[in-house]
């Protein structure tokens, strides 16, 4: 009995020792693990703890403003009032939205989108109901706040274009970021961020965008914001200063009115673009706020192409405005001089073809200055036969035709100046003389943009430098800017006597009693302009129409009407401004386009933006009301 008791005691003691040893080993393992976590890995877990407790949020920077040459704002930022809903503070989301719908309109599509966003997010994260609220709408919501649980007003920024349509093609617009725009920049993924989509907004998007700021804030275990710990504001985007004079830009848009067309006004001495207007236009604010599908479809369906910038992307036959180039090519080649005379009977026969002059009864005996003044087609048919298409093309390129100038706007087109080699390479056929005759009056294959026509005219007026256009500038460095854009440019290499002959023809277009644009003369001494009209046919006139009488332009369908063109410079002494006007399917150049050019050149000389110091007010520079028409 005693022995059995001793055996049991020994077994108990052994088990107790084993159990105690196991407990000691387990405690040792736990102690070692705690030491590892609390001492060895202390820094790592402290960092993880901070990351769980502190979050970072990007702050959208303020987009840089765009101003005209005198600092007038063209693209600015305004407060964007948004109404938000936080589902955890809303007992009944559907009922709250219903109540809010009596105060501000909420479409069925918006309601669906709101409920979808709420379902995807945590219940304490606000969801945007509507942006771009008017102040009256904000006030109504605030007044009714007690009856709208979970509803709050948030204030952000939105892009705003004060002049709307008048400079839309130049400025472009901003719009929401789409998936294919994402580059890894986290700023692009912030809610409501917008980027440049067209025009200067697109070209200078990165500079205008600025740099994001950051907010460091404390959150609890479920991600709710407790307090902001640190805030670093972003860097405002750069200011973009243009060469445009917005007053002249507005005037050009006003004069074009509902017509489809373009106006380009340029400084003859520097190449600074003072007006770059395309009509019809569009409202860039609609794109900045999110254009509706119906609005977009209306723009796309409009046959007058309001989204196309016709100043740089509209390619038109230059018509008779091209005759100065033909004249200069012939003078330089020595095939004519100012006294060379041809007889115009109203048409010229070449082989089996009959090439008509715009004046059915003809002009009689014509010399060069009169040929330009009265725009005699037969005279230039004869000239072109003698000089040839390749020499005409070479002269055209010296005056900026058939070239792109990279004026910071997308979609610029080069136009077309044909040659014998071009036709053989592109069409696979040899050039024929009849095509030279058609090219001589700016028809056939020849195409140009309004920008190119303005540059051509400015180079004729300047006579020395192959100036290039530019659209952006630094108001603080005007003298440097002029030197950069004028002194380093190649000389045109044109004989001064030849230029004087052509200029005399352009002067008489407006000042002579038989000039094609005499009715569009500027009636102010010292402000007179020289110019050249053009009327470009868009369809061939048949012999039957010629025999029975040509149908009047305004009686044809819009797309079959002639284009109206006019180019001009002023003043006659020391020219400073040149303009090109194209009215698409507008009719006669001297009747429709010339008065627009006259009004722009007169106002440009009154305002004289090229001579005014940046920052000068409109009142100080003068107004058209001070001069008689």
Q: What is the CATH number of the domain that holds 167?
A: 3.90.1310.10
* Residue 41 covered by a domain: no
Structural domain tally of the chain? Answer: 2
Give the up-direction half-sphere exposure of residue 156: CA atoms within 13 A in the CB hemisphere.
20
Query: Measured between alpha carbons, how far is 510 from 527 in angstroms, rounded to an integer?
Result: 12
Antiparallel, parallel or unpaired: β 66-67 and 240-241: parallel
Domain that holds residue 433: 246-612
* Residue 259 covered by a domain: yes
CB within 8 A of 273, min separation 6: which ones? Answer: 243, 244, 264, 265, 266, 267, 407, 469, 470, 471
Q: Are residues 256 and 202 in the same domain?
A: no
pTM for this prediction: 0.82
Q: Are residues 341 and 470 in the same domain?
A: yes
Decide if 582 contacts 600 (C-beta within 8 A): no
Q: Give the per-residue pLDDT at 45.
A: 55
Q: Are residues 539 and 596 in the same domain?
A: yes
Decide if 553 contacts 561 (C-beta within 8 A): yes
Q: Are residues 140 and 268 in the same domain?
A: no
Q: Are residues 216 and 269 in the same domain?
A: no
The pLDDT tens digits of the residues spanning 119-144 come to 877 776 678 888 888 889 999 998 88
What token pair was written down for 367?
């010399």
H helices of 408-514, where? 420-426, 433-440, 450-462, 478-486, 496-511
Q: Cβ atoms within 10 A of the Cβ of 271, count?
A: 25
End-to-end CA distance of the chain: 141
Q: Are residues 183 and 291 in the same domain?
A: no
* Residue 578 covered by a domain: yes
Query: Measured between alpha carbons, how far is 567 from 245 in angstroms, rounded to an integer?
Result: 20
Q: Are residues 235 and 263 in the same domain?
A: no
Q: Are residues 366 and 269 in the same domain?
A: yes
Strand partners, 128: 84
Report which of 434, 437, 337 is spatially closest to residue 382, judged by C-alpha positions. Answer: 437
Decide if 245 contacts 609 (C-beta within 8 A): yes
> Quick check: helix, strand or coil at residue 536?
strand
**Which of these three, 241, 258, 288, is where a domain ends?**
241
* Residue 76 covered by a domain: yes
Give the up-direction half-sphere exposure of residue 325: CA atoms within 13 A in the CB hemisphere.
35
* Residue 488 covered by a domain: yes
> Quick check: helix, strand or coil at residue 122?
coil
Q: Are residues 182 and 254 in the same domain?
A: no
What token pair was written down for 6?
């001793």
Which positions of the chain have pLDDT values less than 70?
Answer: 1-12, 16-17, 36-37, 39, 41-57, 124-125, 189-192, 215, 217-226, 228-229, 474-488, 540-554, 612-629
Q: Which residue has the tokens 């794109």?
A: 287
Q: Please give the C-alpha separations between residue 78 and each of 38, 113, 176, in angstroms, as whole numbers.
A: 52, 26, 17
Q: Which residue has the tokens 């040893």?
A: 21
* Residue 345 covered by a domain: yes
Q: Give the per-residue pLDDT at 619.
A: 43
In SS3 terms, 153-219 reads as EEEEEEEECCCHHHHHHHHCCEEECCHHHCCCCHHHHCCCCEEECCHHHHHCHHHHHCECEEEEEEE
Assess whether 612 carries a catalytic annotation: no
CA diameter of the chain: 156
Q: Please give the C-alpha separations between residue 28 and each of 21, 33, 41, 47, 544, in angstroms, as whole numbers.
A: 10, 8, 18, 27, 113
Q: Which of 166, 198, 278, 320 is catalytic?
A: 320
Q: Are residues 425 and 503 in the same domain?
A: yes
Q: Are residues 190 and 292 in the same domain?
A: no
* Residue 568 covered by a domain: yes
Query: Measured between alpha carbons, how far is 440 from 322 in angstroms, rounded to an integer?
Result: 7
* Residue 42 covered by a domain: no
Q: Give the per-residue pLDDT at 128.
A: 82
**Which of these three, 241, 276, 297, is where a domain ends?**
241
Q: Give the per-residue pLDDT at 423.
A: 97
CATH of the domain at 519: 3.40.710.10
Q: Are residues 87 and 150 in the same domain?
A: yes
Q: Give the per-residue pLDDT at 498.
A: 96
**Which of these three, 209, 241, 273, is where a domain ends?**
241
> Quick check: helix, strand or coil at residue 519?
helix
């Amino acid at each position: 009995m005693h022995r059995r008791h001793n055996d049991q005691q020994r077994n108990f003691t052994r088990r107790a020792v084993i159990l105690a040893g196991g407990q000691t080993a387990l405690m040792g393992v736990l102690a070692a693990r705690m030491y590892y976590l609390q001492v060895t890995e202390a820094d790592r877990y402290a960092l993880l703890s901070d990351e769980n407790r502190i979050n970072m949020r990007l702050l959208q920077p303020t987009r840089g403003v765009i101003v005209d040459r005198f600092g007038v704002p063209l693209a600015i930022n305004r407060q964007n009032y948004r109404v938000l809903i936080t589902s955890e503070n809303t007992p009944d989301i559907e009922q709250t939205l219903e109540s809010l719908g009596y105060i501000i309109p909420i479409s069925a599509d918006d309601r669906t989108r709101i409920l979808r966003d709420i379902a995807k997010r945590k219940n304490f994260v606000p969801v945007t109901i509507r942006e771009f609220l008017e102040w009256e709408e904000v006030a109504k919501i605030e007044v009714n706040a007690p009856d709208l649980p979970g509803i709050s007003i948030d204030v952000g920024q939105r892009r705003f274009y004060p002049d709307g349509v008048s400079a839309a093609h130049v400025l472009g617009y901003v719009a929401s970021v789409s998936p294919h725009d994402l580059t890894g920049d986290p700023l692009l993924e912030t809610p409501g961020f917008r980027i440049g989509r067209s025009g200067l907004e697109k070209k200078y998007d990165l500079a205008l965008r600025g740099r994001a700021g950051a907010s460091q804030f404390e959150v609890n275990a479920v991600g709710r914001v407790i307090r902001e710990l640190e805030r670093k504001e972003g860097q405002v985007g750069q200011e973009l200063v243009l060469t445009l004079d917005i007053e002249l830009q507005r005037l050009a848009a006003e004069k074009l009115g509902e017509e489809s067309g373009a106006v380009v006004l340029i400084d003859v001495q520097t190449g600074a673009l003072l007006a770059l207007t395309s009509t019809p236009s569009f409202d860039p604010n609609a794109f900045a706020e999110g254009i509706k599908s119906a609005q977009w479809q209306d723009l796309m369906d409009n046959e007058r192409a309001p989204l196309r910038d016709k100043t740089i992307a509209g390619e038109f036959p230059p018509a008779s405005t091209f005759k100065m180039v033909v004249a200069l090519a012939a003078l330089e080649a020595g095939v004519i001089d100012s006294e060379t005379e041809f007889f115009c009977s109203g048409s010229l026969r070449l082989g089996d073809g009959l090439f008509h002059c715009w004046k059915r009864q003809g002009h009689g005996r014509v010399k060069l200055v009169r040929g330009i003044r009265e725009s005699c087609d037969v005279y230039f048919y004869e000239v072109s036969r003698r000089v040839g298409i390749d020499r005409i093309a070479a002269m055209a390129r010296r005056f900026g035709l058939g070239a792109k100038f990279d004026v910071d706007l997308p979609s610029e087109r080069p136009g077309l100046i044909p040659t014998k080699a071009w036709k053989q390479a592109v069409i696979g056929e040899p050039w024929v003389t009849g095509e030279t005759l058609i090219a001589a009056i700016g028809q056939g294959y020849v195409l140009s943009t309004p920008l190119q026509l303005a540059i051509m005219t400015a180079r004729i007026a300047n006579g020395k430098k192959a100036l290039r256009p530019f659209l952006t500038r630094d108001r603080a460095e005007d003298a440097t800017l002029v030197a950069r854009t004028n002194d380093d440019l190649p000389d045109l290499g044109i004989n001064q006597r030849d230029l004087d002959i052509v200029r005399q023809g352009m002067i008489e277009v407006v000042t002579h009693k038989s000039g094609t644009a005499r009715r569009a003369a500027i009636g102010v001494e010292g402000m007179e302009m020289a110019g050249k009209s053009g009327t470009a046919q868009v369809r061939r006139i048949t012999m039957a129409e010629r025999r029975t009488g040509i149908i009047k332009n305004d009686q044809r369908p819009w797309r079959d009407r002639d284009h109206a063109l006019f180019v001009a410079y002023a003043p006659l002494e020391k020219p400073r401004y040149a303009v090109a006007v194209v009215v698409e399917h507008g009719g006669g150049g001297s009747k429709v386009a010339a008065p627009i050019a006259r009004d722009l050149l007169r106002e440009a000389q009154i305002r004289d933006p090229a001579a005014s110091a940046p920052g000068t007010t409109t009142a100080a520079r003068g107004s058209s009301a001070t001069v008689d028409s």
